[in-house]
């Protein structure tokens, strides 16, 4: 397997406005890493703290708002998992849209919203080593382009911290086996 082949993420969100990718080398088989991912994406203290801070505005918001999380869009056994979310992430109390299928995610293009897809991709290497990468892609529609662009410039370093922590947590679990 080479790193230039088409990914599930390429199929799901080939066109995007912003992207960020991070990679880590793990002394474990793709099967072991994929097994960990099937139990959920591990988070650490930093991720929980940043998500807690992100959620503070919801405490002060009176009206009801959607509180949907990422939806598993597609996976390839022992190779890749792609999750997605749709919303207005730049708002103090981010509005999200419920996703019930890959088709809903793929066809969504409403003005004023963004959709994000994130993958975790495993690439087998020699000597029982694997590369694990995560890439986040976001596309925005209409009036959301500028709003999300401004938001992304602010949150990109924090998003990077979260993605790197997730990769380190997966590495720790996989190598402990």
How high does pLDDT run on average in the chain?
A: 88
Average pLDDT over residues 84-112: 93
Please give the backbone phi and psi of residue 18, each rounded to the nearest 5 degrees, phi first: -135, 155
Residue 66 predicted with pLDDT over 60: no
Which residues is 103 bridged to in the sheet? none
pLDDT value of position 156: 94
Residue 22 predicted with pLDDT over 60: yes
* Other CB atoms within 10 A of residue 156 CB: 13
Task: Give the CATH class of 16-176.
Answer: alpha beta
At residue 43 the predicted structure's pLDDT band, cuts being 50, 70 and 90, is: confident
At residue 107 the predicted structure's pLDDT band, cuts being 50, 70 and 90, is: very high
Cα–Cα distance between 29 and 147 in angstroms, integer? 41
Domain extents for the chain?
Answer: 16-176
Cα–Cα distances (Å) from 63 to 58, 70, 85, 93, 147, in that order, read 10, 22, 21, 11, 22
Cα–Cα distance between 25 and 132 in angstroms, integer? 6
Show the CA angle centred on residue 52, arms to residues 48 and 55, nearest 5°: 140
What digits encode the pLDDT tens for the residues 119-165? 999 999 999 999 999 999 999 999 999 999 999 999 999 999 999 99
Residue 117 near residue 137, CB atoms below 8 Å: yes
CA proximity to 118, closest of 130, 105, 135, 103: 135
pLDDT value of position 2: 45
pLDDT value of position 177: 67
């Amino acid at each position: 397997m080479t790193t230039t082949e088409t990914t599930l993420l390429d199929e799901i969100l080939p066109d995007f406005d912003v992207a960020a990718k991070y990679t880590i080398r793990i002394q474990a088989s793709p099967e072991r890493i994929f097994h960990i991912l099937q139990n959920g994406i591990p988070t650490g203290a930093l991720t929980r703290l940043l998500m807690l801070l992100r959620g503070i505005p919801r405490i002060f918001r009176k009206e009801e708002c959607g509180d949907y999380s990422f939806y598993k869009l597609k996976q390839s056994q022992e190779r890749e998992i792609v999750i997605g979310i749709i919303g207005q992430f730049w708002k103090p109390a981010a509005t999200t849209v419920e996703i019930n299928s890959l088709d809903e995610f793929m066809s969504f293009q409403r003005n004023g919203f963004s959709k994000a897809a994130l993958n975790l991709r495993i690439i087998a290497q020699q000597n029982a080593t694997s590369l694990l990468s995560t890439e986040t892609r976001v596309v925005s529609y209409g009036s959301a382009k500028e709003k999300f662009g401004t938001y992304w410039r602010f949150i990109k370093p924090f998003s990077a911290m979260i993605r790197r922590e997730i990769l380190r947590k997966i590495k720790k679990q996989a190598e402990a086996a």
